[in-house]
Copies of this chain bind each other. A is one copy, B any other.
Amino acid sequence: MILRRTLLDAARQALADGNTISLRDIARRAGVSHTAPYRHFADKEALLAAVAEEGFVKFGQCLQEAKASLENRPLQALQATGVAYVRYAIQHSTHYRVMFGQNLYRCGEYPALLDASGAAFEILVSIIEAGQVQGTIKSGEAQQLALGAWAQVHGLAMLLLDGQLAVSGLENIEAMTQQMIQSSIQGLLVSSG
């Protein structure tokens, strides 16, 4: 029981340290034989799913915090959550990769993981909906609009993690993110005002 917790912490530690993750390394960090994890997880993938799930829970908390103080200013909330999103991805890059990159979503195994990632996404959706109710955000499928926003910050995060962009320093990255979201809210058309 308690080892399960220890293993997950060790996994998080391993992710913080390096790029790859192996069962044996996690067991080593947990100070336990390399077969012990099989008492608590069916296989490596199941452990990764648990790690990803915990990541999404924390991730959701970050987004929620960013949104919290801006409940009735949806446009600012959108900015703040977007920045928080990218910040989380940068600061927990390897964990973030596990959350998104491990093909854990194919067969509908790991429903708890689906829930956790869905919950994080719903935070975005709820902001859009609040904006629509308030009349500051255009009407339409909130899910669809949220997906557009999600794709953009996710794409930016991935480009940054993969070193595709020549930007460094968290401050610069946050400024760039903010600018991108601002521009995205306004759209590309020449403003008619």
Contacts and interface: CB of A to CB of B under 8 A. Distances in A.
Given A148-B183, A163-B105, A164-B105, A189 B137 contact: yes
Contacts of A193: 192
Contacts of A189: 136-138, 185-187
Interface centre among A144, A152, A186 (most CB of B within 10 A): A152
Contacts of A128: 188
Interface in A145-190: 145, 147-148, 150-159, 162-165, 179-180, 183-190
B187 A184 contact: yes
A132 B175 CA distance: 24
A101 to B, nearest CB: 6
Contacts of A100: 158-159, 162, 164
Contact of A151 (B103, B105, B147, B180): B180
A102 B138 CA distance: 39
